[in-house]
Structure 1
């Protein structure tokens, strides 16, 4: 089957959608399609003829805006001086995750939205770890638990321990054999770190939650070490159900506190 041309790819857009889009966005799309079709790799220079305003039938100002869009998306980088030009950039997963997180910060999902996915994906991530996780990553998981197994001496220390608990799940995501699964789980973790309502919850002391989380994760490490995916999946399912219940309850209490404060 022949590879779709840029024109054929763009034909999937509706006329109304095209009307709403600005010329720099459409030009950025065209250049992105050329990058994909040419198979350029990170570090490759974009051919100068691609960047000729006359060939693209756009003004120099429109071309500059289009390149800024691609640079913001992390696809290209510009270099000045001898040997300079426009080059394909190597985007890291963390770059893409942070960009996606920034998008969701503008229209925040609910905690229920996040856990609707976590309850489905994290158990599969745990089962995957029991099958594929390297021994050195298992050692890292054990070291991560040591960061928050001792009783915190201050509210700030407890908050940092809560973030370290998320690092445990991030380590599983980094080592997922399915990169799409790992990326999606990592994005959900980043939302939990950055969403204001989640940060407010994590900053409230709750020693019992820390101990419960440690127990789940110790059991999970044992299941992974035993290479038992069914057990790992079951443990993570229970962990996610408990975590969602806690987060929803704390969110409701914070909302009630804010309403009481406003009313008083």
Structure 2
């Protein structure tokens, strides 16, 4: 058999190596937000790198939201807390030029929202349930005007965001809240939300009330099942509304029958 030399991995940029090394230093030394990194001159000596390379590495860390730099006396590079909002903004920028549909979002929500609800059960307390009840109260009635209508639609998504806050799985919670944010920002979803039409939310609220009751009873299987049904129902309703918005009534038996009421639900 002929010996074959393995293909060497592509050489990494020196800047990327320094970025990873600084991240490792942050972990090893347990640096906290507000702590200052070594001065530029120290980093140049530590990594045997030029000023330009070190500055490029620091700029990369700043763009990633991991540090912030200050000039002047007492200045330097300081460890920063990456906020959830900033992390989501970076992901949204990645998806900016890509096609993301309501069906794409619900393909994930149908799987993940039941899981995050179950994972939140053990951390839910009286205050958590009060928060959910208060959010439902925002949209359990007809809106007085367009502004209240918009606030109600956003609150419908915020309900699920609060549930995710109590999850003990940070990655799962973040992903669910990111999907909720995508629905808030997605152009076609926003077009649906601003439609000045009655929104029949009784069935969606019923799902939420049943889920809360199952959570309080510690019935994980029931929580998972109810949330899965809720998400499937919400997806169907959102896709119906999208088709209606596009002027496609052929799939809707209510529309074909000449009915005025359309199915609506909470997201």
TM-score, normalised relative to structure 2:
0.78
Distance of aligned partners of 1:33 and 1:62 in 2 relative to their CA distance in 1, 3 Å threshold: same
Distance of aligned partners of 1:194 and 1:75 in 2 relative to their CA distance in 1, 3 Å threshold: same
How far does residue 72 in structure 1 lie from its aligned partner after superposition? 1.9
Partner of 1:122: 113
Q: Distance in 2 between matches of 1:54 and 1:131?
A: 50
Partner of 1:238: 229
Question: Contact 1:101–1:190 at 8 Å: present in 2 too?
Answer: no
How far does residue 90 in structure 1 lie from its aligned partner after superposition? 1.8
1:86-235 to 2 correspondences below 5 Å: 86-235=77-226
Question: Contact 1:131–1:229 at 8 Å: present in 2 too?
Answer: no
Q: Distance in 2 between matches of 1:14 and 1:116?
A: 36
How far does residue 46 in structure 1 lie from its aligned partner after superposition? 1.1
**Larger RCO, structures 1/2 (Cα 8 Å, 6+ apart):** 1
Partner of 1:260: none
Length, aligned pairs only = 241
Write the deviation string for residues 118-156 of structure 1: whole angstroms up to 9, x where unpaired.
111111122233333122111100011111112112333
Which moves more between the two structures, 109-118 or 90-99? Answer: 90-99
Which of 10, 23, 45 is matched with 1:15 structurally? 10
How far does residue 14 in structure 1 lie from its aligned partner after superposition? 4.4
Which moves more between the two structures, 202-211 or 238-247? Answer: 202-211
Larger radius of gyration: 2
Q: Distance in 2 between matches of 1:96 and 1:239?
A: 28
Write the deviation string for residues 62-107 of structure 1: whole angstroms up to 9, x where unpaired.
4333322211211011233433221111223333223223322332
Listed as ranges, the gaps of 5+ residues in structure 1 are 1-12, 258-264
SS in structure 2 at match of 1:40: coil
Partner of 1:3: none
Question: Contact 1:123–1:236 at 8 Å: present in 2 too?
Answer: yes
Distance of aligned partners of 1:249 and 1:24 in 2 relative to their CA distance in 1, 3 Å threshold: farther
Distance of aligned partners of 1:101 and 1:52 in 2 relative to their CA distance in 1, 3 Å threshold: same
Distance of aligned partners of 1:244 and 1:72 in 2 relative to their CA distance in 1, 3 Å threshold: same
Q: Distance in 1 between matches of 2:14 and 2:97?
A: 24
